[in-house]
Chains A and B, each alone.
Chain A
């Protein structure tokens, strides 16, 4: 790494002078090299949440269905019959920007470990990805690498990738986002927490050996902006081994099933330092670790390297001394490592030993909870701080506009991506990717099913962080409603720029408030989450991107509506409090007219519409249900037609009577709208406005002087056009 030669060591590790002074004060002396390395990691933004923790206190975290909330490896909600569903989303943005294949692969590996650490078997993965525009060579390189990496890990380990979303926007050009969400399934009574307990119990490191890979990942990569010389950071990216994780997963689940572990924690960012620290902190105990007992890949590793290594596929367990032999036997069966590297103590200190010598000794409280929490200094921007690029002439007619929207990489079918993922292993996948608005997974053990959606349109959050974040939550809720699911809980990954700068600070502050407000209004608790800050490139921050993952329950997996129309002759209904505008829309983007501002959604009205759609789907009264999202009503209708291979005719006059311009009626966006199809009488009973009929080989939309007719073949070709464009993968750009 290129550092100024005279930089003090603590600054090189990312600590400020005042933070260093605070460490000296808490220790009563200067930290040695081992201690400084450990403090620098646990006091990094990535581990300590020092710029976000105060904001996160605004989020509602309690509810009758919550089994585990924030603070555990993953959150979990009750799905009945003694079962729980665990879930969490996490980012691996900076590693993926530096090395997309391994960055994305280890992102999946890490989130899987979070879920099986609490004793839940991973049953599905979803991904939320953001890249620069698809016409950029760098973006295609990152897309290709990230997709291959996700597939490599998820496919090999036998966990299906059942959904996700991808946006291509200029502000992510130098700082892509790779967020992975994992869903796990467990018997509620068998779930395990991460708190170390039982003085004298053994601390056992399981799984892979420890090497020099990923040293400093949390502080160097995850807690600072990307910039010049990032290729020198490649060694800080970890390398994934899904086979090792597959064995470790099965091994851990067998150990937990046999009741052989007191507690379990995965090793993620900051490796042993963070897992041992967090286990000791949660349990109110101390832990002694002997680095000489840690199985190493390279013999000459320094104690600090052992403590901060981010080698993948490792878990830390607390085991009663009498059970260590039984634990070893099961680890042997699964051909995975098991080393007794330490002991639980009553000292409330983390002590690092090498052989007999103490090489580090820190109070747990100072190490894990001692990092100062900062207030933000937010300031709203005076105007749109991101760029605008016109790619569609304002004079384009409606038909050309619809085709341009359908072929927009953020809207077009992502079949090219989803086909590279195993979506069906586990035999739970009722709705495969792009077949419905949300993924649906059957839970035959509990006699019901869950639906999962992940969303977060950063462009809208950039327009207005509060309202944009509310829209992200509503989008998830609407997706769940379309398959008949009731929301149970929410997880999130807050991807933002540098919180020490006023505008990203304002975005973060407003966004968290919007998230809290939407969750309160929908009565959906936040059961966990992750924060990724310092996402900036040379041109400034990324779009503020709160990625929301929502899990819902539905009683009967056979009663879930597809998103596409079902049969010719069905009536088409528009339902919900839909007031489309062009603010932050895909059309505004293509015209280069993005600006600040986004209308405030009526959350209560959208929630009521969601309940009505959910009940109608559950009752089997609808043939299809799709929410109106990016590209507006015209795009939603076209998507319903393309998926079915059936045309449609619709008259958008009703919207115009409510004050929409023809263009807003066709292409305007906003929450609350559903496109439903089925028998006319059913739609009318529900209160939907019947706007047209399914059938024919064209999409015909009447909207006054902006009416359009597009052939189904042309629409399909536009919507499927991503395959060919994404495939033209070039070599990585010369400077990456």
Chain B
């Protein structure tokens, strides 16, 4: 298993993501945003941070990078892609995932541990840290996403700190190989620094690559 972690100017959590991939298992390498070739990696992680300063709109500039063209091809071929926080925003901007991320309801950046519920009903304790994490999509699209099982993660009761519609914390594409979420599973892989529940998010991606 070879993981590729994209790096844009302004990425912040790329080293954390590399570390998380290694903890879960396999080799992990950084992929510079200017690369058009992903170098044969099995799965892609688009990490958190403030690519291009989040100027204009979060993820709006990074989506045009050569590496993102390659990611779109990788995704179209069924390759697994995980977008975390800013990476989720980039995937939505790129049209690889449905919906959009808006400024938090309280209009403040928020960093705290949150409980998520995954598709199997398991509760995961994973931190959130973002200023623009309020998931939004029109009602009809939300109904369609729910019907097709595309809601990957929801905030547990009382843990939706940003005002996301229907408590949505993460979604997947129709095919299921592209997943994005606002919480940070790469910051939940070591009991020393928090929880280990984030490993399950990476392991789910690992299974897709198999």
Report A's interface with B, CB cutoff 8 A.
Answer: 148, 151, 155-158, 241-244, 246-247, 250, 334-335, 418-430, 442, 557-558
Contact = CB atoms under 8 A, between A and B. Distances in A.
A242 B184 CA distance: 21
A421 B127 CA distance: 13
A158 B184 CA distance: 14
A246 B192 contact: no
B49 A424 contact: no
Given A421-B111, A422-B129, A157 B192 contact: no
Given A156-B53, A242-B53, A423 B111 contact: yes
Contacts of A428: 193
Contact of A243 (B10, B15, B184): B10
B9 A242 contact: no
A243 B55 contact: yes
6 contacts: A157-B12, A157-B50, A335-B9, A418-B111, A419-B110, A421-B109
Given A156-B50, A157-B12, A420-B108, 14 more contacts: A151-B109, A156-B10, A157-B50, A158-B50, A243-B52, A243-B55, A247-B9, A335-B9, A422-B111, A423-B111, A424-B129, A424-B184, A425-B187, A558-B192
Nearest to A423: B111
Nearest to B50: A156
Given A243-B52, A420-B110, A426-B16, A442 B193 contact: yes
A420 B194 CA distance: 18
A428 B49 CA distance: 17
Contacts of A334: 9
B13 A155 contact: no
B203 to A, nearest CB: 18
Nearest to B190: A427
A151 B110 CA distance: 10
B12 A158 contact: yes
A429 B110 contact: no
In the complex, the 3 A-B pairs of residues with the closest C-beta atoms, listed nearest first: A243-B53, A158-B12, A156-B50
B112 interface: yes
Give the interface centre of A156, A242, A423 by most chain B CB atoms within 10 Å: A156
B124 to A, nearest CB: 16
A245 to B, nearest CB: 10
Interface of B: 9-13, 15-16, 19, 48-50, 52-55, 108-112, 127, 129, 131, 184, 186-187, 190, 192-194
A669 B40 CA distance: 63
B109 A420 contact: yes
Contact of A430 (B49, B108, B193): B193
Contacts of A418: 111
Given A243-B52, A420-B111, A427 B15 contact: yes
B127 to A, nearest CB: 6
Contact of A241 (B9, B12, B53, B193): B53
Contacts of B49: 158
A677 B209 CA distance: 49
B50 A246 contact: yes
Nearest to B127: A424
B15 A426 contact: yes
Contacts of B109: 151, 155, 420-422
Contacts of A247: 9-10
Nearest to A442: B192
A250 B190 CA distance: 26
A609 to B, nearest CB: 28
Contact of A427 (B19, B52, B108): B19
Contacts of A427: 15-16, 19, 186-187, 190, 193
Contacts of B108: 148, 419-420
Given A243-B50, A420-B108, A427-B19, A158 B193 contact: no
B72 to A, nearest CB: 23
Contacts of A425: 12-13, 16, 48, 129, 187
A421 B131 CA distance: 10
Nearest to A250: B9
B208 to A, nearest CB: 24
B9 A243 contact: yes
A419 B127 CA distance: 11
A246 B16 contact: no
Contacts of B48: 425
B190 to A, nearest CB: 7
A421 B184 CA distance: 15
Contacts of B16: 425-427
A693 B169 CA distance: 42
Contacts of B53: 156, 241-244, 246
A320 to B, nearest CB: 27
Contacts of B193: 424, 427-430, 442
A44 to B, nearest CB: 32
Contacts of B110: 419-420
B109 to A, nearest CB: 5
Give the interface centre of A151, A425, A429, A558 by most chain B CB atoms within 10 Å: A425
Nearest to B17: A427
A525 to B, nearest CB: 29
Given A241-B53, A427-B193, A419 B13 contact: no
A427 B11 CA distance: 15
A225 B131 CA distance: 36
Given A243-B50, A427-B19, A419 B111 contact: yes
Given A420-B109, A422-B111, A428-B193, A158 B13 contact: yes
Give the interface centre of A425, A427, A429 by most chain B CB atoms within 10 Å: A427
Contacts of B111: 418-424
B181 to A, nearest CB: 16
Nearest to B18: A427
A597 to B, nearest CB: 42
B112 A419 contact: yes
Contacts of A157: 12, 50
Nearest to A246: B10
Contacts of A156: 10, 12, 50, 53-54
Nearest to A152: B109
B194 A155 contact: no
A420 B53 CA distance: 17
Give the interface centre of A148, A424, A428 by most chain B CB atoms within 10 Å: A424
A492 B15 CA distance: 31
A443 to B, nearest CB: 12
Given A151-B109, A243-B55, A246-B9, A424 B131 contact: no
A75 B49 CA distance: 29
A418 B190 CA distance: 22
B34 to A, nearest CB: 8
Nearest to A247: B9
Contacts of B184: 424
A726 to B, nearest CB: 11
